[in-house]
Amino acid sequence: MADNFWRDEEAARFAGDLGQRVYSSRLLGRDPALVLHGGGNTSVKIREHNLFGDEVDVLHVKGSGWDLATIEAPGFSPVLLDHLLRLSRLDHLSDARMVNELRTHQTVAAAPTGSVEAILHAVLPHKFVDHTHADALIAITNTAGGERRIRELYGELVVVIPYVMPGFDLAREVARRYPAEAGPRTIGMVLLGHGLFSFGDNARQSYERMIELVNMAEGYLRDHGAGEASPAPPAPLPQTGEGQQARAQAGLRLAVARAAGRPMLLTRDDSPEALAYCRRPDLNKISQQGPATPDHVIRTKRLPLIGRDVAGYAAAYRDYFAQHAPAARQPVTMLDPAPRVILDPELGLMSAGKNATEAGIVADISRHTMAIIARAERLGGWQALPAADIFAVEYWELEQAKLARSGSRPPLQGEVALVTGAASGIGRACVDSLLARGAAVIGLDLDPRIDTMLARPDFLGLTCDITERERTLAALHAGVRRFGGLDMLLLNAGMFPGGTRIAALEDELWRRVMAVNLDANLMLLRECHPFLALAPGDGRVLVIGSKNVPAPGPGAAAYSASKAALTQLMRVAVLEWAGEGIRLNAIHPDAVFDTGIWSPEVLASRAAHYGLTVEQYKTKNLLKTEVRSRDVAELAAEMCGPLFRCTTGAQVPLDGGNDRVV
Ligand code: ZN
């Protein structure tokens, strides 16, 4: 059931009609069973005075690019109501022209462009208008006999509009039908195959009517054996191991990226709900009809792929395009034919996107769609809109215009990096540099603060001791599950024990340094190799070495030897893996003092040891410059990027110039 989130004491903090509009819009946005990720829209009609003191009616309608859950007053576009009403009486208006009219008749130049459903909001003769794509409503309309069920359920409470594509045509249809069909008891409107509207004289009334209408739909579903139910546990399948599943997922991601013509992330959900759906015996019938509501097609494409034949999916997509493109209103350019949703009986639900946010949105929409379809099946049989209607939205002129506008993308977008020692110092700086270039990042660290270091969809922080193989493998597989694979491995974690000369060097210390700086990295290279080989672009490895490799120092035998051995290990991998397009390079930094090991006390004592001030000590290099973690991270990220496309096996000093290295 939908909860009524309205609280008078909260609402009182939002002043005026527009403030009330902001408040109740957020209440709708808070419930993903009503609207998901930018879906739905709301409006309020307000009489205002213009610069000349004239009274004008203004429709404040949700601006494009805003999400109801987080909308603010500037997220509403104020458009002259009379102009919108005149437009609604035209016989024809292209959607591109309609957007132009919205933009040229808004009263605040800097406001966002109003929703394409602005004219529809304008023609409804109510002060507040709320629109959602409520799951429960769609589970009823998208069934055989959906219209009959809606009329039986709501009677005179709603006006029912048969499916028309969103945009001007829908607004015109509503302008014609609504006044004729609305009665004294009407509180809302159902757009078949699309969604639900409610109206009111004030924000609370309109919002509470939405909740009431949705809960009537919930009640109807429950009474007809289609209530919210926990799905049956998934049918058991012979299970392969985590590693095998992760490699299968990375292989699928590679195929998706190839079909898309660009790197893509592929996130996996193998929850019992997802697996139960993917193992339904009628999966083919129920999943191959179309999305729950047409605007999901922009995110999910019309159909999910069942199984792993990405090439077959792409071929079928080309056929679908060839079949429907001739009927489009204007010439259309084919989108990439890669699937965005994959349903695999063994692996579960997988969702593709060019970045983590987009993949997450696809996953959320898919989970809601699976639940809606399951309920519609119990009600009387899921039935999506015909392919031609979905194609029209997918290849809508405004969406096509966005393609033409799309500019350059971040250099590492759609790619995944794993950074060890990611909670502080150089590792932390690498995380920032990679994220800034559009990569998704898996950060491992001994320090448990890594788990909550960054709350963002493109970062996964995991506590992990890289000398423990099982734990490290589990972290690697968790990263693949979240993002789909691995493109870049940054070997940064290492330990630097204080000055011990060889004559006093204990076996135990030597082994510990080797275990962290060398053995763990061999294991990481070996275990990550299958994933790097499946990277859509080049697989890349970046080794954070040390100045001590070319120029060792006394008292650092274990450290220098371990970093030198790691560098040699990298050079052998360069030779062994070049055929798979994997390139490996190293940076040899020196005297990076903004890291965990260099506390102010240590710094002061080392400076004093050389008879220098801290400042002199930090810049005791040829260039007399301070080397910071950020300098190392920026170079590391660049060396993973296209600039170093042709470079493998390189060792780059980053030390301000050292006379023993040059
Ligand atoms: Zn809608």
Cα-to-centroid distance, 67 and ligand 1 (Å)? 13
The sign of the dihedral angle between the CA atoms of 568, 574, 577, 583 is positive
- What are the structure tokens assigned to 330, written together? 């204007």
| Rounded distance from Cα 384 to ligand 1 centre (Å) | 15
Under 8 Å CB-to-CB from 208, ≥6 apart: which residues? 4, 6, 200
Q: Would you state the pLDDT for residue 231? A: 66
Q: Mind listing the pLDDT tens digit for each residue in 397-427?
A: 887 877 777 678 999 999 999 999 999 999 9
Say what the pLDDT of residue 244 is: 95
Annotated catalytic residues are: 559
Question: Ligand 1 centre and the CA of 191: distance in Å?
Answer: 8
> Which SS3 state, helix, strand or coil, does residue 660 take?
coil
Q: Nearest-CA neighbor of 477 among 264, 256, 237, 250?
A: 250
Cα 394 to middle of ligand 1, angstroms:
14
Return the pLDDT at 236.
Answer: 76
Q: Which 3 state secondary structure label does DSSP give 265? A: strand
Mean pLDDT taken over the chain: 94
Average pLDDT in the 338-356 region? 97
CA of 131 to the centre of ligand 1 (A): 7
Distance 116 CA to ligand 1 centre (A): 9
pLDDT at 329: 85
Q: How many residues does the chain have?
A: 662
Q: pLDDT tens digits, residue range 241-268?
A: 899 999 999 999 999 999 999 999 999 9
Write the CA distances from 39 to 36, 215, 427, 467, integer angstroms: 5, 19, 38, 46
Strands (E), 522-642: 539-544, 582-589
> What tokens were used for 179?
């006044």
Q: How far away, in angstroms, is 133 Cα from ligand 1 center?
A: 6
Q: How confident is the model at residue 588 (pLDDT cuts 50, 70, 90)?
A: very high
Separation between Cα atoms, residue 422 and residue 19, nearest integer Å: 43
How many whole angstroms from 174 Cα to the centroid of ligand 1? 13
Contacts of 472 (CB under 8 A, 6+ apart): 444, 464, 465, 466, 520, 523, 524, 527
What are the residues whose beta carbons fall under 8 Å from the beta carbon of 164, sequence distance 6 or more? 170, 173, 191
Q: How far is the CA of 493 from the centre of ligand 1 (A)?
A: 49
Question: Does the structure show a pLDDT above 70 at 523?
Answer: yes
Q: Say if CB 155 and CB 186 are below 8 A apart.
A: no
The mean per-residue pLDDT over the stretch 649-658 comes to 96
112-121 pLDDT tens trace: 999 999 999 9
Q: Which residue's entry shows tokens 């491992």? A: 444
Asked if 361 contacts 281 with a C-beta cutoff of 8 angstroms, the reply is no
pLDDT at 631 over 90: yes
Work out whether strand 128-132 and strand 41-49 pair parallel, antiparallel, or are unpaired. Answer: antiparallel
Question: Strand, helix or coil at 241?
Answer: coil
pTM of the model: 0.93
Distance CA 21, CA 17 (A): 6
Query: What's the CA gap between 542 and 427, in Å, rounded?
Result: 12
Residue 594 has pLDDT above 90, yes or no: no
Phi, psi of 114 (to 5 degrees): -65, 155
* pLDDT recorded at residue 230: 67
CA of 129 to the centre of ligand 1 (A): 12
Q: What is the pLDDT of residue 356?
A: 97
Please report the sign of the dihedral spanned by the C-alpha atoms of residue 437, residue 441, residue 446, residue 451: positive
Q: Say which residue, 351 or 408, is predicted with more confidence.
A: 351
CA dist 38 and 36 (Å) reads 6
Ligand 1 centroid from CA 291, angstroms: 13
Q: What pLDDT does residue 87 have? A: 96
- Ligand 1 ion: nearby residues, β-carbon < 5 Å: 195
Half-sphere CA count of 362, side-chain side, radius 13 A: 30
Ligand 1 mean position, distance from CA 229 (Å) = 26
pLDDT confidence band for 635 (50 / 70 / 90) = very high
